[in-house]
Amino acid sequence: MPAAVTPERRHNLQKRHDPAVLRPAPADAPDNVDRRLHAIIGKFTQGIAPTSLALAWLDWAMHLALSPGKWQQLLEKACTKDLRWLDYAMRSTLGLRATPCVTPLPQDRRWHSPGWQTWPYNLYQQAFLLNQQWWHKATTGIDGVTRHHEDVLAFAARQLLDMASPINFVATNPDVTAAAVREAGANFVRGALNLLEDVRRRASAEAAPGSERYRPGIEVAATPGRVVYRNHLIELLQYASVTPSVHAEPILIVPAWIMKYYILDLSPHNSLVRYLVAQGHTVFIISWHNPDQNDRDLGMHDYLTDGVLAAIDQVRTVVPDQPMHAVGYCLGGTLLTIAAAAMGCTSSGPLESLTLLAAQTDFSEAGELTLFIDESQVAWLEDLMWQQGFLDNGQMAGAFRLLRSHDLIWSLAVNQYLLGERAPMTDLMAWNADATRMPYRMHSEYLRELFLDNALFCGRYRVDGKPIALSDIRLPIFAVATMTDHVSPWRSVHRIHLMSRCDVQFILTSGGHNAGIVSEPGHRGRHYYSSLHRAGDCYTDPERWLAQADQHEGSWWEAWLAWLADKASSTQVPARAVAPGLGPAPGNYVLER
């Protein structure tokens, strides 16, 4: 395990990992002017680099201009689709049997309303879907265009098409027109009031409507416990036991610092923390400080040494002579993997097992999030963070919303402002609105070293000046991926199997990045796939893995509990009292805005 972090050693680490090593800071006025200009523009574009979009468009346009065969193909496609639509429109208008030209994709929920099957709305729908198909053909499959630029341009085309979708307009949306007739326009009055309230709340930085019903420490994050350690970066919470005896080995949970920790301690019925405590486990969890401009120089090494490693040391102090089960969620799982690799090959370290929840270790197939990550985009984002000192939660949320714009932007706007209907607030929605920031230096290092360079998986990521290798991890691993995850795609998470020196129990569960993890027993409709990969087994690609894996109904939490029991000793000890510490859970950091 790395040596203790003394003040002198931390100073040396900060010097060695100075952000200037990653990207030299501007030393003269012209460069500062450039960065300020980029930062100003970046605020209006939600941190998206217009240069990156322009480069993608230029790559596509120049190659398309020199591809007359593609022109001919697109012209033929356009003529064919127009004729098909005209035939469909004529038959529908005359009341004759008309087979739709195209059917929506199963995951496209915008067209589920029966109104889209009635005239004339069926014509709008078919025209839009045919147009969407044509633009996909026009932006892909052109020889010479780089894969990244092709993906960016196809994504941008989808965003523009989503803006022009007939679902977004009063006259072309059957549900909106029906509501207007049924309610004599009252839906528009409610929608206008909803819009005014949202504008007011955004201007005053208030939380989303209804989120006041889910207050940390009262309705959510309410599992009894104490803050047993605090530094400038973390609070460590220990939860009170509710069983007379507990398992000997404690559990340490490392959530992502891009989110508040209580995603894993929501309401009492769906709290993973409460579930573990009820099953006789001693549970610790990290609550991250929400950084501001004063924390701009906190880096990945600070999060490792003053975050994960500091928490491990404290758990060992509270529960001496016992190894712990370490759990990491999302970025927290990536950082926990770095810590485990840095501890080396020894089997006598502080960790008994490693559980990774929707956490990536290989970023070569990181899904649509990589659309926002290239050299141009990262440089532009760095200029925005350089001025602010951090990446704002609104700027991060904007990128995630774009990945599912028809669900998280346009359909939401239609429901709230045209239909005048707000979805009831839930604990998960309230948590999602309680976002955090990320320091300039840490986020720059994370994007460059992990995403752009994929240094961790390739053995180039350095801790204490030495490169670490994931193959040095000899712990049993329980890895959970979620089927519809757009942050950590399951095929990317699946590459944990390439760590050949440890057993990997891999779980693929229904749901997305958050809802798939918050999957308590009894949650209706949940199921998961499971398979054990032993150290030394041949690699199985994701498609073959899915075809061969065992399918189970219910929650993966129960499978994990059985796995933990198998990896732990059979020793039970009297329930551990929680020291008074520094105050009750959920602590202070979770309340920072």
pLDDT score, position 398:
65
DSSP H or E stretch at residue 154: helix 147-163
pLDDT score, position 13:
38
pLDDT score, position 91:
95
pLDDT score, position 272:
98
Question: Helix axis angle, 29-44 relative to 375-388, nearest 10°?
Answer: 100
CA distance 464 to 309: 13
DSSP, res 242: -
Both tokens assigned to 176: 């909106």
CA distance 81 to 257: 48
- The DSSP string of 566-592 is HHS-S-EEEPPPPP-TTSBTT-SGGG-
**Does residue 330 carry a catalytic annotation?**
yes
For the entire predicted model, the pTM comes to 0.89
* Sign, CA torsion 191/193/197/200: positive
Catalytic residue among 79, 101, 330, 502: 330
Q: Residue 68's Cα: distance from chain center in Å? A: 41
CA distance 111 to 117: 9
pLDDT score, position 30:
54
- Cβ pair 258, 436 in contact under 8 A: yes
- Cβ pair 152, 56 in contact under 8 A: yes
CA distance 81 to 548: 40
Q: Is the peptide bond before 489 cis (omega within 30 degrees of 0)?
A: no
Place of tokens 């195209």: 102
Taking phi first (over 0 means left), then psi (-120 to 50 degrees means alpha), and beta for anything else, what does residue 107 get?
Answer: alpha
Domain boundaries, the chain: 220-364+456-566
CA distance 266 to 274: 9
CA distance 447 to 299: 12
Fold of 220-364+456-566: Rossmann fold (3.40.50)
Query: At 490, is the secondary structure helix, strand, or coil?
Result: helix
Q: What tens digit of pLDDT does each residue of 340-373 get?
A: 999 875 556 899 999 999 999 999 888 778 888 8
Q: Which residues pair with 573 in a beta bridge?
A: 246
- 313 Cβ contact list (under 8 Å, min separation 6): 4
Spans of the chain, pLDDT less than 70: 1-31, 345-348, 394-395, 397-400
CA distance 538 to 449: 29
Of 178, 165, 186, 161, residue with least CA distance to 115 = 178
Query: At 351, is the secondary structure helix, strand, or coil?
Result: strand
How many residues belong to the chain? 593
Of 569, 580, 592, 586, residue with least CA distance to 248 = 569
List for the chain the helix, strand, coil content (%; round to 5). 50, 15, 35
What Cα–Cα distance (Å) separates residue 446 from each residue in 238, 493, 496? Answer: 29, 17, 19
Starting at the edge strand found earlier in the chain, the sheet holding 234-239 runs 225-230, 234-239, 283-288, 251-254, 324-329, 351-357, 477-482, 504-509, 527-533, 550-553
- 264 Cβ contact list (under 8 Å, min separation 6): 253, 255, 271, 272, 273, 285, 329, 517, 518
Radius of gyration for the chain, computed over Cα atoms and rounded to the nearest angstrom: 26
